[in-house]
Structure 1
Amino acid sequence: MKKPVGNGPYLVDSYTRGSQMSLRRWDDYPGDDKAQNGGVDLKVYTDANTAYTDLLAGNLDLADDIPAAQLKNVKTDLGDRYLNTPAGILQTLAFPFYDPDWNKAGSEKVRKGLSMAIDRKQITDTIFQKTRTPATDWTSPVLGEDGGYQAGLCGEACEYKPDEAKKLIEEGGGLPGGKVTITFNADTGSHREWVNAVCNSINNALDDERACTAAPVGTFADFRNEITDRKMPGPFRSGWQMDYPLIQNFLQPLYYTNASSNDGKWSNKEFDDLVNRANQETDTAKAIDLFQQAEEVVRDNMAAIPLWYQNGSAGWSDRLSDVKLNPFSVPVYEQIKVS
């Protein structure tokens, strides 16, 4: 993006790629959602902790991601200038199905066993201070039942059952090479903390301190390059932030054969056929029912491990008021008022 153009309540005043974008109120904007402030300067941070430090120091007015390391302090630091609200975001572990070790007969038992070796409640309680919720399906509660959300669909496969986890992994032929490596980008999102916690949980469940290893990649760009080049040695950090509130958006882009965000290259004819039928259906309720059947195929194959539903979080300075996050966890900038 070299010359961004806005069509909302702001004009793009200046833009420095990878650094900052300055928006200024467009007084002639014809819409109802006119900006309640003079403009917004959007800054790029490669470390959420640095942004949080700048917020406390008065060098930043709004941080739209509170890092995990600061969650235990945020209410003391900010009081009522802190917001945590449900968002259409799901964190998962994806698998490299282009690797025969993860795509052979019985491997779904290994994936299910790994899922049951993860103590989601302990991780969301301790690492994320209860600001995330253990996932029980592959969508988000933000959808509601009308949008296709199925609470509890994952069943015991998303419950912490270490004895059953060990049994399933053994029945599935064991971990490829005797161990599993979880790859993640280390530059954003507090991923290091939770990946380490997931590995510790797996190691404890399997009584093997070497069963799981965390493998950080320095930047998100390098991480994405390795995914695109199909270099993942095992499960890797994945997830989805919805584009629109419908079950279709959580399934088709991620699991349909050769779909745009199907990074693990999972392919299943039954799933594809159900999605095709759903997309041809003119009755929305019937389409959602077909997508829900497709999600059951994802469950039965453990095409990805759902970890937790992620809330949106934000903290702001005492100069601001009327701060809200939309269902996509993005600040509603035009409603913010500046004193």
Structure 2
Amino acid sequence: MRFTRTSKALGIMAVAALALSGCGAGGTNDAGGTTGGDTSRVIIADGSEPQRPLMPADTNEVGGGKVIDMIFAGLVSYDPNGKPVNELAESIEASDGQNYTIKIKSGEKFTNGEAITAQTFVDSWNFGAAAKNAQLSGGFFESIKGYDEASAEGSTVDTMSGLKVVDDTTFTVELNQPESDWPLRLGYTAFSPVPSGALADPKGFGETPVGNGPYKLADGGWQHNVQIQLVPNPDYDGPRKAENGGVTFKIFQNDDTAYQDLLSDSLDVLQTIPTSALSNFESDLGDRTISKPYAGNQTIAIPEYLPEWSGEAGKLRRQAISMAINRDEITKVIFNGARQPAKDFTAPVLDGYSDSIPGSENLEFNETKAKELWAEADGMQKWDPNTTFSIAYNADKGGHQVWVEAVVNQLKNTLGIKAEGKPYPTFKEVRQDATAGTLTGAIRAGWQADYPSLYNFLGPIYKTGAGSNDARYANPEFDKAITEGLAAASVSEGNDAMNKAQETLLTDLPAIPLWYQVAQGGWSNNVTNVDYGWDGVPLYYQITGK
């Protein structure tokens, strides 16, 4: 597919492409297409109930995210290795790293027949950024000139001055400053166009969304807490064209049930093998498995709005918690060595990753130091011995109970405090408390990359006011460092700046990095051409029946 840039921008993209390695999943050719199979089969995959209506700029969790990604197409999408390729864009040209001219393909339409024009993109992005619309991923537009005015609390401004329509297929974007990785972000779903009906009634639209991607929602397709049915969009002509008869995401109450359905061939694809089956899934499934590192991590976020976790004493306690966790033991015993203890806040598969950032020693198991830090914090602000440190987690997906219990046992043994896991029935419910700022303790968190950049693991999560900032962390020093890092002349220089900014995070620890993720999944005897992308998500569009 075409992906036109100036020579400078092309260099940025080439440097930023991910290099993933792993084993598993045959059945694809070098161009990313399938090598045969029954293209009429409807693929049954595991899913989770979306937290919010299915609006691209209002979805920042994986359950709704992978549905949004399949029913909407943006300017670019990412190939299986994380390289951007044109989807709706004809060209994206940067004159100086701050000003962009974007041309879209003519004749593109949503599945309701509404034309997609340059004005569609400008209207969609303005809607996503405006404070009055309260879109969870609105912060992704922060680099565009005029965002600060549109996003300010109580603002009546609903457009960004940096967006201008030139003609039906051309619009320009002016950023607040030159930013080396801005073009990489355009494949994230927040930048997808939405039809006029979405802007008029976002809540209603989110129940029955109309998109332009490789799939569309079937009639009555979202049956809450049961399943989400997608069917191919016959008018889509991009790089992710559906090779099957549709995808149905079946919503399970726990992954162990999903695994049993996989073993009985009632489920075609299970994205993540439950922790309870990690020791035997390869023998159970044979060559129908995958184990592949991806751009994702696991963390524990600790809200700073809780008094005992605020100020200097709170910082010392977070450092103590981190040093009381034996990551090597947990990854070896519970995950059979299939996770790598974290050394930073990003992921090793990303360009620019470093495992030796000053402050990373706070992620090392050190019982003696942990006790000293906890005692030092006690000298500033006494910890009530009757207080229980809790870690909230969802019980329906991911098999988190086992490792959460291991962590709380280590904390009890090392620090002598009360600690426990706090299960929520569903991912949606725990995310609702995190979004509302009503958590009573820590939360099992983590990140699956939206686009291939170190900044994506930092800004959207830890910048002041960011939509995914579960800790409600706010440090002007960190904010300034990553903003300046975005203005670097190259991705390489920007990566150095992002790692420098991580030094602040590794001291403050608004979240405690635990380990880097590995995509471990499996599929039934009924399907073939299964592989996972750079972000750990199965490439559903290329899966076929046998």
Which sits farther off after the overlay, 313-322 or 275-284? 275-284
Does residue 127 (structure 1) correspond to residue 334 (structure 2)? The answer is yes
Name the counterpart of 1:198.
407
Name the counterpart of 1:172.
377
C-alpha deviation, 1:16, in angstroms: 2.4
C-alpha deviation, 1:143, in angstroms: 0.7
Name the counterpart of 1:9.
214
Identify unmatched segments of 5+ residues in structure 1. Answer: none
Q: Is the 8 A contact 2:288 2:522 kept in 1?
A: yes
Which of these residues, 498, 504, 507, is aligned with residue 297 of structure 1? 504
Aligned mates of 1:45, 1:183 — CA distance in 2: 19
Name the counterpart of 2:354.
150
Aligned mates of 2:246, 2:424 — CA distance in 1: 35
Name the counterpart of 1:189.
398
In the superposition, the TM-score normalised over structure 2's length comes to 0.58
1:97-148 superposed Cα distances (whole Å, 9 cap, x missing partner): 1123211224322211111111111111222222221111000112132xxx
C-alpha deviation, 1:292, in angstroms: 1.7
Aligned mates of 2:231, 2:437 — CA distance in 1: 42
Aligned mates of 1:21, 1:231 — CA distance in 2: 29
Aligned mates of 1:8, 1:185 — CA distance in 2: 30
Q: Is the 8 A contact 1:101 1:107 kept in 2?
A: yes
Aligned mates of 2:239, 2:390 — CA distance in 1: 50
> Could you tell me the percent identity over the aligned residues?
39
Which of these residues, 324, 327, 330, is aligned with residue 117 of structure 1? 324
Larger radius of gyration: 2
Q: Is the 8 A contact 1:142 1:245 kept in 2?
A: no
Aligned mates of 1:185, 1:169 — CA distance in 2: 28
Aligned mates of 1:262, 1:47 — CA distance in 2: 26
What's the secondary structure of 2:207's corresponding residue?
coil
Identify unmatched segments of 5+ residues in structure 2. Answer: 1-205
C-alpha deviation, 1:26, in angstroms: 4.2
C-alpha deviation, 1:171, in angstroms: 1.6
Aligned mates of 1:271, 1:126 — CA distance in 2: 35
Aligned mates of 1:39, 1:230 — CA distance in 2: 37
Which sits farther off after the overlay, 11-20 or 235-244? 11-20
Alignment of structure 1 residues 1-339 onto 2, 5 Å: 1-14=206-219, 15-18=221-224, 19-145=226-352, 149-153=353-357, 154-173=359-378, 176-178=383-385, 179-206=388-415, 208=416, 210-339=417-546
In the superposition, the TM-score normalised over structure 1's length comes to 0.91
Q: Is the 8 A contact 1:2 1:17 kept in 2?
A: no
What's the secondary structure of 1:325's corresponding residue?
coil
Q: Is the 8 A contact 2:252 2:396 kept in 1?
A: no
C-alpha deviation, 1:282, in angstroms: 4.4
Aligned residues between the structures: 334
C-alpha deviation, 1:161, in angstroms: 1.5
Q: Is the 8 A contact 2:271 2:522 kept in 1?
A: yes
Aligned mates of 2:510, 2:529 — CA distance in 1: 41
What's the secondary structure of 1:323's corresponding residue?
coil
Q: Is the 8 A contact 2:393 2:444 kept in 1?
A: yes
Aligned mates of 2:233, 2:222 — CA distance in 1: 20
Aligned mates of 1:71, 1:328 — CA distance in 2: 20
Aligned mates of 1:229, 1:59 — CA distance in 2: 37
Aligned mates of 1:152, 1:284 — CA distance in 2: 19
